[in-house]
Amino acid sequence: MSTAVRISGKTKLYGVIGHPVTHTLSPQLHNTGFNALGLEAAYLPFPVHPEQLQPAVRGLVALGVCGFNLTVPHKSAILPLLDEVSLIAQRIGAVNTVRSDDGKLLGTNTDALGFLRSLAPLDLELRGLRVGVLGAGGSARALLAGLSESGAARIFVCNRTPERAEALVSSLQQFAQETEMVAVSLSELESQPLALLVNTTTVGMDGVSVPADLERFREIRNVVDIIYRPPQTPLLAQAQRLSIPHLNGLGMLLHQGMEAFSFWTGKLAPEAEMRAALNSALQAD
């Protein structure tokens, strides 16, 4: 899949701001999307130190950049620099996508919707069901904001540091109309029949450790690990051994990017091409 970009005086510029940004797959993802639709646009990584965020954003606006993504550590720090922030990004307290409309900066967060869209291969109707979430960091927050709109009956949040799970649940419960959120211990989580268990912790990125032992659970019908490096974490390997349908985080990465692409261009993102770009970028990793 070629990500070659055409550059002219009319090229629209996009990018990602992070620190570090050396491992980002977003340039391959978006440049492939622009190419596939014949858009004259280019997407670049911008390494920006935390204390340089404000001048960097001012500079991007001054240069006429049309939109950008934010990654660690800027997702919350960007909030006061924006003119408008979508409701979902306000709830999550973090922005991963910004569009510049004639210099007016509109921020949103595509992680929650990206996660929900990524569940499609599981053919899972969450309405009325129970979901378990491992972890209570930034990713868990985005997922919970999305899951609370899925109509799930109860979401159980389990974290190594229980106070963080409790704080997360109490700050998001007010927005969840049909869903009850509860902070639980690992043994309480294991005793629940779960339609879905999602790992949002970083445990498993090393290819060795597991955040939970699936065999100890009463019932788990589906497992998602939002980690995509490695593509199969030990948790997902265990799900496979136990014949539990499972997904890694590649779909979430793809769909959050597709939502950002549409937010910027107003066009439906080319899924097949963007998925292939991610797969080949990961293989080349």
User: Are 66 and 87 within 8 A, CB to CB?
Assistant: no
CB nearer ligand ATR, residue 28 or residue 201: 201
By the rule CB under 6 A, 159 interacts with ligand ATR: yes
Count of residues that bind ligand ATR according to CB under 6 A = 15
By the rule CB under 6 A, 186 interacts with ligand ATR: no
Specify the stretch interacting with ligand ATR by CB under 6 A; choose among 53-61, 157-165, 185-193, 264-272: 157-165
104 is catalytic: no
- CA quadruple 270, 276, 280, 282: dihedral positive or negative? positive
CB nearer ligand ATR, residue 41 or residue 190: 190
CA distances in angstroms from 115 to 31, 43, 200, 242, listed in the order given: 22, 23, 11, 24
- Beta-strand (E) ranges in the chain? 12-18, 41-47, 67-70, 84-85, 97-101, 104-108, 130-134, 154-158, 180-183, 193-194, 196-199, 219-220, 223-225, 246-247
By the rule CB under 6 A, 203 interacts with ligand ATR: yes
CB nearer ligand ATR, residue 12 or residue 164: 164
Q: Which of 109, 148, 200, 233 binds ligand ATR (CB under 6 A)?
A: 200
Q: Which of 164, 191, 232, 245 binds ligand ATR (CB under 6 A)?
A: 164
By the rule CB under 6 A, 204 interacts with ligand ATR: no
By the rule CB under 6 A, 199 interacts with ligand ATR: no
What whole-number distance in Å separates Cα of residue 39 and Cα of residue 88? 28
By the rule CB under 6 A, 137 interacts with ligand ATR: yes
Strand 67-70 to 97-101 pairing: antiparallel
Specify the stretch interacting with ligand ATR by CB under 6 A; choose among 133-141, 217-225, 229-237, 249-257: 133-141
CB nearer ligand ATR, residue 60 or residue 158: 158
Between the two ends of the chain, the Cα-to-Cα distance in Å is 15
Classified as helix, coil or strand, 279 is helix
What whole-number distance in Å separates Cα of residue 251 and Cα of residue 269? 14
What whole-number distance in Å separates Cα of residue 51 and Cα of residue 73? 11
CB nearer ligand ATR, residue 125 or residue 170: 170
What whole-number distance in Å separates Cα of residue 159 and Cα of residue 145? 17
Query: Which residue in the list 10, 75, 104, 267 is annotated as catalytic?
Result: 75
By the rule CB under 6 A, 185 interacts with ligand ATR: no
Active site residue ranges:
75
Q: Which residues bind ligand ATR (CB under 6 A)?
A: 135-140, 159-161, 164, 200-203, 211
